[in-house]
Amino acid sequence: MKAFTLFIREHIPFMVFQIALVSFILLLFWLDGFRNPNTAIYSVAMSILFTTGYLVAKFIMRRTFYTKIVEKPKLMEDALIRHVLTPEHKMTTEFTRELYRLYQREVQTLYDGQNRHMHFMNQWVHQMKTPISVIKLLLQEDEMDKKSIEQEVERIQNGLENVLVNARLETFEEDMQIERLLLRQVLQEVLNDNKRLFITNGLFPVLNVDDHLTVATDRKWIKFMLNQFITNAVKYTFEKGKKIYVNAVQQPEGLCLEIVDEGIGIPASDLHRVTKAFFTGENGRLSGESTGMGLYIASEVCEKLGHQLTITSKQGEGTTIALLFKDGEAGEQ
């Protein structure tokens, strides 16, 4: 009944138009001298009959469509109306199906982001228990080891920074500010921030970047990425006395920044997956502190900034991380 009522309401303008059209024709005949009432009655009856037949046939053809849209949907799949005959409703159905596919993709993206964030937070909270427990044990000793406490506090600070960075990825465009920076200056700041890390692990940074080279990028995000690359290079170089090289090489495509370590390298089976979220691989299990999010966030930032990230490695010899600033993003001051 609801379907029929909807159909009648939709076609009220059509029926009013038909009545007006028949009335106009009868008036035209009347003014022209044809005033036979039987002809008028016959004309009106035939008009009503043909119009009713047309509407009934149209309702039968579209009954499935009207019946479907007057029902309250129970599932999202109910939006996918089938057995539609008219061209208009076919286009409407195709439009609705495309909207449904877009909705599904957006929901899946939101679900993946929420699931990734929840997984990351659970993993991070679990890892932060270790430095907190260590600090509690150090505080119970008669002579506090300030250096050890500082190291644990630094681990907590780094973990908090990763959480904040992961949260800011959702609003990256609002937090981005592109400017031309002196590359060597930015690198020196990052190396100075990690000075204690180099000293603790007995490693030496070697900076081979000319003073005049500049790149167009975001200062905060590029420092985060470089810090992540340097930290990983130090973390997976277990032998003391090794060096970490930071080189800038001019290429036809642009300026290529390379961070080369002499560490344990990345197994070939893990190399293509190191930028996936939560992937730790063999090396991550060796250190026991990897969240699998550092390189993932760095690769996401590179993609948003338009920088090309390349990672090459040979197990037992070291890893090279190359960051390419394409044409128009690198040059001399």
Question: What local confidence, expressed as pLDDT, does residue 278 receive?
Answer: 67
Cβ contact 119:279 at 8 Å? no
DSSP state of 239: S
Q: Global pTM?
A: 0.62
Q: Note the pLDDT of residue 226.
A: 92
Written in H, E and C, the secondary structure of 294-319 is: HHHHHHHHHHHHCCEEEEEEECCCEE
pLDDT in tens, 94-129: 787 788 888 888 888 888 877 777 777 777 777 777
Are 121 and 163 a contacting pair, CB within 8 Å? yes
Q: What percent of the chain is modeled with pLDDT above 90?
A: 13
Residue predicted with more confidence, 124 or 194:
194
Domains along the sequence of the chain with CATH? 2-71 (no CATH), 179-332 (3.30.565.10)
CB 209, CB 333: distance < 8 Å: no
